[in-house]
Amino acid sequence: MIQLMELTVNGERHDLAIEPRRTLVDVLRHDLGLTGTHVGCEHGICGACTVLVDGAPARACLIFAAQVEGAEIRTVESLSPEGELNDLQQCFSEHHGLQCGFCTPGMLMLAEGYLAEEPEPTTEEIREVVASNLCRCTGYQTIVEAIDDCASRRRAAFQEQLAGSRV
């Protein structure tokens, strides 16, 4: 059985004709060619497939594409559309928050969604959020540090902006 559906990913609308059993992650990777999102376990534990659905981190392996018709989906490809790494990606690089890079897109989207919701997290809170996903290379410390650093930089930038607007 083939179903017609419409999916909005990274601001772009796509028309699809797919089996209803097709997962979001398979659609993103194999139908839309957005291979930045990875598949690590297909049962919702490892978080390598984390994307943002209407701004909130979600496991793309546990969602059928049909379930998110009408939602705004964001993948790792949206972070640096022009090729220039964004501040979060830059922090991951500076802190060596990635080695093989397989869990990285999931970690980035997890952090991107979280920081948008909670711009002033403590390190412990960041650690708890990072515990949503698995990384086998880094031992997590540098991932937590990268997100922490990015949050500080964003806060500093925001303060600067405020100061600027007061003048």
Partner 1 sequence: MAAEPPPRDPHLRRDGAWVGASVPRREDPRLLAGRGRFVDDITLPGMLHAQFVRSTEAHADLLAVDLDEVRATPGVVAAYTAADLDLADITAELDRPPHEFVPTAMPVLARGKVRYVGEPIAVVVAKDPYAAEDGVEAAVVEYAPLEPVVTDLGALAEDAPLVHAEAPRNTLVDVSLFATEGIDDVFASAPVVVEVRSKTGRQNALPLETRGVVADWDDRDEQLRVQTCSQVPHQVRTVLARCVGLDEKQVRVTVPDMGGGFGQKCVVGREEIAAAAAALRLRRPVKWIEDRRDALTAAFLAREQRYTVRAAFSADGEILGLDADVVCDMGAYSCYPFTAGIEPLMASAEMPSVYRVPAYRVRGRAVTTNKAPTAPYRGVSRPQYVMVVERIFEKAARALGMDAVELRRRNVITVFPYTGVNNITYDPGSYLESLDLCEATLREEGWFSRRSDDNKVIGIGFACFSERTGYGSGAFAQRKMQVVPGFDLSEIRMDLNGTVSVTTGTLSHGQSHETTMAQIVADRLGVPYDRVKIVQGDTDRITYGWGSFASRSITIGGSAVAAASVKLGDQLREIAAHLLSGDPEAAVLEDGGVRVGSSWLSYADIADVAYLKAHLLPKGVGPGLSATASFDVGGDGTFSNATHGCVVELDPGTGGVEILRYVCVEDCGVAIHPQVVEGQARGGIAQGIAGALFEEVRYDDAGQPLAPSFMEYKVPTAMEIPDVRIEHLETPCAFTENGAKGAGEGGTIGAPAAVLNAVNDALRHTGVELDDTPIPREAIFRALETS
Nearest approach in angstroms of CB 55 to partner 1 is 18
Pairing between strand 72-74 and 56-59? unpaired
129 contacts: CB under 8 Å, gap ≥ 6: 110, 111, 114, 121, 147
Tokens of 45: 């534990």
Nearest approach in angstroms of CB 159 to partner 1 is 26
Residue 141 contacts partner 1 per CB under 8 A:
yes
Which of 45, 71, 87, 125 binds partner 1 (CB under 8 A)? It is: 45
Is residue 39 exposed (0-12), middle (13-18) or buried (19+ Cβ within 10 Å)?
middle
Tokens of 126: 């960041």
Which of 75, 111, 113, 121 binds partner 1 (CB under 8 A)? It is: 75
Query: What residue ranges bind partner 1 (CB under 8 A)?
Result: 19, 21-22, 26, 29-30, 34-43, 45-46, 48, 75-77, 79-80, 83, 85, 89, 92-94, 96, 98-105, 108, 127-128, 130-144
